[in-house]
């Protein structure tokens, strides 16, 4: 036990109003101390605006996560690179052991010992094993036996990674580039629009919007506060077409009476959380997005994205997602 | 910031009754504007009746989803095709490099250089690598090294796809071809019947039925509205036999007083959502189905699907799912 | 539309007390008509006591499910069988094409053409491809190319199946062979005991017990009814040791006043549903079990399964699960 | 049926206050009888402090679970070992059959028959199959055919295991090494701090803290009781930075008035359950942790872990997790 002598050794509990207040404060997990106005909380790709220092190497690397989430181009280049480098290293190993230990049944080998070893290595790593080059000494055989096992392991890994990449749940929700302040029924509304960019079905789509802004306390210090924005409709069962999410600006809205300058001055950011169920794999998927005060248009409305279609089918034009036109605010 | 000069810069919030009304409207996610009577909302296979335009190529293709959900016959043909085309392409590449670079240990090759290259390619792609044909020049070896890697990657992919296809959660629920209006206790009921076509167990099966119909507003415009149909029983823990779902037509039912002509005139569609837990993999599965007004029978009742059986076991005859007989409505 | 002329075309809704009653009836999904007393509802392995007739061949076969759930011994025998039969079939095919088309580099082949073809086939199917036997005619090469592809596909499948078998969520809950009527506090209780037979952790374990029995209506007909048995504790967060589940027989219990003969006469069956979260894969797992009236002991109590242990660790003896001793009922 | 004659055959139900009391007792699943003070309930790695005896061999082994959860180093050594032992065993088998049955195309084999058989085995198991060693007798061919199949199965297994290891949901939450009693607002609080050690995002993080301690009943017997500790905030939507969890010690807290000696005397242990959603795979992950009375510091407070950063990004220093400084308790 570790008790400084200067401390009382008895915990005096009291009823505390400060505790009650603190328990009621809304906090998404960012805390109140992120109060500079130069950076946003959530980047447009859904990641957080934060640098991590001094993590352990493996935790920082987070290999599997990175291999699963990187782009396909990057992934395939990496696989190819891994293949070439492995073959190069093993070729050197075979040369070290002695290239003459790789017996070749054919005499017309018109490339040097390195490439012979390199190609033998590639035939071993992929387990293709033509056999027109074959290991004949003890050491070369040992290396080849180890390499073929390593090859199988590597490609077992790649199989797993490919499956992981493909089967990763992912909602390809596209958000309109701008949120808008638009007339809505007999009031105004803050709106944005989303579509499902993929053809797989999403069901039970839920959206939650939190507004974050800096507020000045009585003592002049600035703290970040969070408000839930009530949506006209925050959940749909199906999501086959586009969906315009609307926060009606009534008396209760924290946006009530705001001007564009207010939003800028208080570094307002609209944080969006979307949750849906991917129908193909019955997987729950999440998306984060954020609109900053300078990504909001005033006095615009969205143009419709679909029309009746000719063949008795409704046609949804995905390119019209960002189309807005001027509209007078109420 | 982007503010048209003609706009007021201050958001006036008001209490609005229209907002309150709008918030209470039931909407599955189709909106109110799908008001033509020529097409149904949900097709019988559960997909939505909608054409998408201008999506990006890859999003439209949605490769993985398509490969996972296509029929087995189609999938296997595709794999075979991919194999043949790949071998053909690589055979051409080997010919380009020079067929003489593929040394063949045997002299009795009684097929032309293309087929020699083709078979060598197939032996490389599958990594079978007999070695009675083998690459001897630098270029041919490079191509072969690349091809064998590609082969492994391809079959890694196919492994993942096969597993994905097999392990995909899927409830093989069969719905009776017709819904019926049938006498039910001392009133009438709208009913349909379902069975689990597979032998794997489904538990915690939940069904929700929404009726969609066009209604004429005071101003003569037609809008689609949605009603939840209350079921006599909407959830069961086990689903070993058949299950007849019943919406009793009491005073509160939106079907109260409807005639067949009413249903047709208002383009009525019954949308069914089913959710269950597949016991083998503990996966939640979803099914959508819909009955249109012309798929409903009046004054019929379902014949029982199971009888006592001889060997002390209850026997369920899956072929009797659609069996109905005439019954007088109350 | 399909309306018999003899039917009224207008749905008269009424308020119905029968509908209200029916909605309140508890039903697990078996219905009320399973009223013979010769068979139980749920078998001891959790399957349902039901025969299915006339399902489609593939739905009945339910291949993947069966391959995933069969025993390991059966599965491995099946794989071996598949391997041998495939090789045999392809061997015949090679013989048909002509065994002389399989060139063999070695002269010391002291087995007949069938076995030569068989071994060549095995070397092709597994893609080992030594090459000391190799296809030299066009037809033999085509067959070999196809076989090697098939080989890869098959083993891709087996890979998927092996992974599916291993990763299948499964709670190895062991139930005591008998449920007991035992004194409990100042009343009696109906009890059974469970343990986690595996070393992986289960958390959030929930148990629900339903009693099913035949009851005679006023008109003499017998119908099956279901009662929820209230448990003293139906959920625990951790499940590291054994857990005795207790239904206290208070005034409200449907077992109040029952005698052994009552249970037998009414074909009473206790249906148990267990749900838990497997900690390793965060998968929800389900188990069903049932005790029939003749699997219940009267006036016994469970002996404790664990003792203090010597090394400061609690020791749980899994073999004591079924240990009971006599106890006088209150 | 199994009824001792000495037992009453009729279950007399009564209303029982003891039953009511028992139903209200909080129990995590450990029971009340774990009352020695020498061992903790939950080890620091989240496992339970319990020995299991007499389980069946396979249940105890729990192979898949063990292979999935062991360290990477251990796993790879095991794979390598399996590979070597398999090759060794098959080499012996080939020697038994006769090493002369393994024909070798090359004459320069300067290693003995065992190694020839060993390398042939490795080339068969990995399906590399160079063919410069090849089976020529019937028996050797049979063994090789079987070995190549076994090889594919083994590596199918390894593929599955590798994928299982990688895709296993795991929250790399780091807990501060000590919990602290610290001033909190105008009272004191019991606190600990956590960070996400990995770079993948966790969302919807929930924490529950239960205090377990021995209490002496009126009759002098000691029983373990469990108390839920109310947290100032028990759930956050995002978890990008550090999170200090606070139990405010108000009048209602079971820690109210406790001294360090009290905690030691009653063998107090703080059990922590954490649940979160891993964003990459949308998997729910669980973590358990526990602080014992001697892992709690009195009169300390946590130093902040992040500062403004220079480049407009918040910097989180993961090494500061355990940093505390002295603070006077209220």
Chain region(s) in chain A for CATH 2.60.40.1400: 173-326
Which residue among C162, C260, C314 places its CB closest to the CB of D50? C314
pLDDT at D4: 46
Using DSSP, how many helices (H) and how many strands (E) does chain C show? 7, 17
Closest to A144 in 3D by CA, of D91, D120, B103, C123: D120
Is the Cβ pair D31, C248 closer than 8 Å?
no
Residue in chain D lying closest to A132 (CA): D130
* C-alpha–C-alpha distance, residues A247 and A188, integer Å: 9
**Which has more pLDDT, A291 or B3?**
A291
Average pLDDT for A22-35: 71
**Which has more pLDDT, A55 or C133?**
C133
pLDDT value at A227 more than 60: yes
| CA dist C29 → B198, B235, C26 (Å) | 17, 9, 9
Instruction: With beta carbons less than 8 A apart as the criterion, state whether C157 and C122 touch.
Output: no
pLDDT value at A179 more than 90: yes
Which of A78-92, A94-108, B23-37, C88-102 bottoms out in mean pLDDT, i.e. has the lowest? Answer: B23-37
Average pLDDT for A255-275: 90
Reduce the DSSP state of residue B286 to 3 states and report it: strand
Reduce the DSSP state of residue C11 to 3 states and report it: coil
Average pLDDT for A258-279: 89
Chosen for mutation from D75, D238, D249, D250 (greatest number of chain A CBs closer than 10 Å) is: D238
Average pLDDT for C60-87: 89
Closest to A244 in 3D by CA, of A289, A326, A305: A305
Question: What's the token pair of residue D69?
Answer: 């959860």
Residue C312's pLDDT band, with cuts at 50, 70 and 90, is low
pLDDT value at C308 more than 60: no
Instruction: With beta carbons less than 8 A apart as the criterion, state whether C26 and B266 touch.
Output: no
pLDDT at B86: 94
Closest to A151 in 3D by CA, of A110, A108, A121: A121
* C-alpha–C-alpha distance, residues B231 and B228, integer Å: 9
Q: Does B203 touch chain C (CB under 8 A)?
A: yes
Most confident of the ranges A214-223, B174-183, C105-114: B174-183
pLDDT value at D152 more than 50: yes
Average pLDDT for C28-42: 69
**Which residues on neighbouring strands pair with residue B271, listed in sequence order?**
B210, B290
Q: Does B120 touch chain C (CB under 8 A)?
A: no
Q: Does A259 touch chain B (CB under 8 A)?
A: yes
Chosen for mutation from D80, D237, D295, D311 (greatest number of chain A CBs closer than 10 Å) is: D237
Question: What's the token pair of residue B258?
Answer: 């409807």
**Which residues on neighbouring strands pair with residue C211, listed in sequence order?**
C227, C270
pLDDT value at C85 more than 90: yes
| Sign, Cα dihedral of C272, C277, C279, C281 | positive
pLDDT at C38: 62
Q: Which residue has the tokens 């189709």?
A: B30
Is the Cβ pair B169, A241 closer than 8 Å?
no
To which H or E segment does residue C286 belong?
Answer: strand C283-292
Q: Does B79 touch chain C (CB under 8 A)?
A: yes
Q: Does A112 touch chain C (CB under 8 A)?
A: no
To which H or E segment does residue B297 belong?
Answer: strand B296-298
Tens-place pLDDT, residues D51-110: 777 777 777 777 888 888 888 999 999 999 999 999 999 999 999 988 788 877 655 555
> CB-based contacts of C220: which residues, under 8 Å, 6+ apart?
none
Instruction: With beta carbons less than 8 A apart as the criterion, state whether C299 and C179 touch.
Output: no
Chosen for mutation from A103, A156, A233, A237 (greatest number of chain B CBs closer than 10 Å) is: A237
Average pLDDT for A309-323: 75
Residue A7's pLDDT band, with cuts at 50, 70 and 90, is very low
pLDDT value at A91 more than 50: yes
Q: Does A120 touch chain B (CB under 8 A)?
A: no
Is the Cβ pair D131, B127 closer than 8 Å?
no
Residue B148's pLDDT band, with cuts at 50, 70 and 90, is very high
Q: Which residue has the tokens 């032992």?
A: D85
pLDDT value at C178 more than 90: yes
Q: DSSP states of B244-277 as a string? A: EEEEE--TT-TTTT--HHHHHHTT-EEEEEEEEE
Which of C63-72, D133-142, D162-171, D184-193 bottoms out in mean pLDDT, i.e. has the lowest? Answer: D162-171
Average pLDDT for C218-247: 86
Which residue among B127, B131, B159 places its CB closest to the CB of D131? B131
Reduce the DSSP state of residue A253 to 3 states and report it: coil
Number of Cβ pairs < 8 A linking chain A and chain C: 6
Distance from the Cα of A229 to chain B's closest Cα (Å) equals 14
Residue C148's pLDDT band, with cuts at 50, 70 and 90, is very high
**Which residues on neighbouring strands pair with residue A285, listed in sequence order?**
A276
pLDDT at A130: 86
Chain region(s) in chain B for CATH 1.10.287.70: 67-167
Q: Does D160 touch chain B (CB under 8 A)?
A: no
**Which has more pLDDT, C3 or C129?**
C129
Question: What's the token pair of residue D252?
Answer: 């209602």
**Which residues on neighbouring strands pair with residue B248, listed in sequence order?**
B189
* C-alpha–C-alpha distance, residues A225 and A211, integer Å: 8
Distance from the Cα of B73 to chain C's closest Cα (Å) equals 14
pLDDT at B35: 58
Q: Does D138 touch chain C (CB under 8 A)?
A: yes
* Burial class of residue D38, CB neighbours in 10 A (0-12, 13-18, 19+): exposed
* Burial class of residue A177, CB neighbours in 10 A (0-12, 13-18, 19+): middle
Phi, psi values for residue A326, rounded to 5°: -65, 145
**Which has more pLDDT, B80 or B1?**
B80
Instruction: With beta carbons less than 8 A apart as the criterion, state whether C323 and D5 touch.
Output: no
pLDDT at C35: 58
Which of A222-231, B11-20, B217-226, D196-205 bottoms out in mean pLDDT, i.e. has the lowest? Answer: B11-20
Which of C55-59, C197-201, D187-191 bottoms out in mean pLDDT, i.e. has the lowest? Answer: C55-59
pLDDT at B56: 74
Question: What's the token pair of residue A299?
Answer: 């006095």
* C-alpha–C-alpha distance, residues D234 and D227, integer Å: 16
Is the Cβ pair B294, C1 closer than 8 Å?
yes
CA A215 to chain centre: 30
pLDDT at C3: 43
Average pLDDT for A2-25: 66
Tens-place pLDDT, residues B220-274: 888 888 889 999 888 888 888 789 999 999 888 999 888 999 999 888 999 999 9
| CA dist D68 → B280, C43, D56, D217, D280 (Å) | 21, 33, 20, 45, 19
Residue B310's pLDDT band, with cuts at 50, 70 and 90, is low
> CB-based contacts of B137: which residues, under 8 Å, 6+ apart?
A110, A111, B97, B98, B101
pLDDT value at A2 more than 60: no
Residue A240's pLDDT band, with cuts at 50, 70 and 90, is confident
Query: What percent of the residues of chain A are helix, what percent strand, and what percent coil, each to the nearest 5?
Result: 30, 30, 40
Residue in chain A lying closest to B282 (CA): A282
Number of Cβ pairs < 8 A linking chain A and chain D: 252
Which of A4-18, B1-15, D8-22 bottoms out in mean pLDDT, i.e. has the lowest? Answer: B1-15
* C-alpha–C-alpha distance, residues A24 and A225, integer Å: 12
Average pLDDT for C138-157: 90
- What is residue B293's DSSP assignment? G
Angle value at C-alpha A59, between A58 and A65, nearest 5 degrees: 95
Residue C2's pLDDT band, with cuts at 50, 70 and 90, is very low
Residues of D in contact with C158 (CB under 8 A): 152-153, 156
pLDDT value at D292 more than 70: yes
Closest to D50 in 3D by CA, of D39, D37, D62, D58: D39
CATH class of D67-167: mainly alpha
Most confident of the ranges B14-23, B43-52, C180-189: C180-189
H runs (alpha helix) in chain D: 17-24, 57-61, 63-69, 72-97, 113-125, 138-167, 260-265
pLDDT at A5: 46
Q: Does C106 touch chain B (CB under 8 A)?
A: no
In this prediction the pTM is 0.83
Residue in chain C lying closest to A124 (CA): C128
H runs (alpha helix) in chain B: 17-24, 57-61, 63-69, 72-97, 113-125, 138-167, 260-265
What percent of chain D is modeled with pLDDT above 70?
89
pLDDT at A176: 94
Residue A94's pLDDT band, with cuts at 50, 70 and 90, is very high
Is the Cβ pair C199, D285 closer than 8 Å?
no
pLDDT value at A4 more than 50: no
Question: What's the token pair of residue A265?
Answer: 């001055």
* C-alpha–C-alpha distance, residues D209 and D228, integer Å: 6
Closest to A249 in 3D by CA, of B10, D222, D267: B10
pLDDT at B2: 46
Residues of D in contact with B131 (CB under 8 A): 130-131
Distance from the Cα of C140 to chain A's closest Cα (Å) equals 18
Is the Cβ pair A251, B137 closer than 8 Å?
no
Tens-place pLDDT, residues B103-131: 776 555 557 888 889 999 999 999 888 88
Give the CATH number of domain C173-326. 2.60.40.1400
Q: Does A240 touch chain B (CB under 8 A)?
A: yes
Residue A302's pLDDT band, with cuts at 50, 70 and 90, is very high
Average pLDDT for C131-141: 86
Q: DSSP states of A139-176 as a string? A: HHHHHHHHHHHHHHHHHHHHHHHHHHHHHS----EEEP
Q: Does B127 touch chain D (CB under 8 A)?
A: yes
Closest to C155 in 3D by CA, of D82, B130, B85, B162: B162
Angle value at C-alpha B144, between B140 and B150, nearest 5 degrees: 145
CA D160 to chain centre: 20
Is the Cβ pair B130, D131 closer than 8 Å?
yes
Ramachandran class of B66: left when φ > 0, alpha when ψ lies in -120 to 50, beta otherwise: alpha
Average pLDDT, chain D: 83
What percent of chain C is modeled with pLDDT above 70?
89
């Amino acid at each position: 036990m570790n008790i400084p002598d200067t401390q009382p050794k008895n915990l005096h509990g009291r009823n505390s109003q400060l505790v009650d207040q603190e328990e009621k404060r809304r906090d998404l997990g960012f805390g109140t101390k992120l109060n500079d106005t130069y950076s946003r909380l959530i980047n447009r790709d859904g990641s957080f605006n934060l640098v991590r220092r001094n993590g352990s190497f493996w935790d920082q690397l987070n290999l599997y996560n990175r291999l699963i989430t990187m782009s396909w181009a990057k992934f395939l280049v990496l696989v190819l690179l891994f293949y070439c480098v492995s073959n190069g290293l093993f070729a050197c190993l075979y040369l070290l052991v002695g290239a003459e230990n790789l017996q070749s049944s054919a005499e017309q080998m018109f490339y040097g010992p390195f490439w012979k070893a390199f190609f033998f290595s590639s035939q071993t790593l992929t387990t293709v094993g033509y056999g027109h080059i074959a290991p004949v000494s003890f050491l070369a055989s040992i290396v080849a036996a180890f390499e073929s096992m390593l090859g199988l392991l590597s490609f077992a890994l790649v199989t797993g990674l490919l499956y992981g990449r493909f089967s990763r749940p992912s909602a390809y929700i596209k958000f309109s580039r701008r949120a808008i302040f638009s007339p809505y029924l007999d009031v105004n509304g803050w709106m944005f629009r989303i579509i499902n960019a993929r053809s797989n079905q999403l069901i039970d789509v839920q959206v939650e919007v939190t507004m974050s802004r800096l507020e000045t306390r009585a003592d002049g210090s600035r703290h970040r506060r969070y408000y839930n924005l009530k949506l006209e409709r925050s959940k749909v069962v199906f999501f086959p077409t586009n969906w315009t999410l609307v926060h009606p600006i009534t008396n209760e809205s924290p946006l009530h009476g705001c001007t564009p300058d207010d939003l800028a001055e208080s570094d307002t950011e609209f944080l969006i959380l979307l949750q849906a169920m991917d129908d193909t794999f019955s997987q729950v998927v999440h998306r984060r997005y954020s609109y900053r005060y300078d990504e909001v248009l005033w006095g615009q409305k969205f143009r419709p994205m679909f029309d009746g279609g000719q063949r008795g089918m409704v046609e949804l034009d995905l390119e019209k997602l960002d189309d807005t036109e001027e509209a007078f605010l109420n």
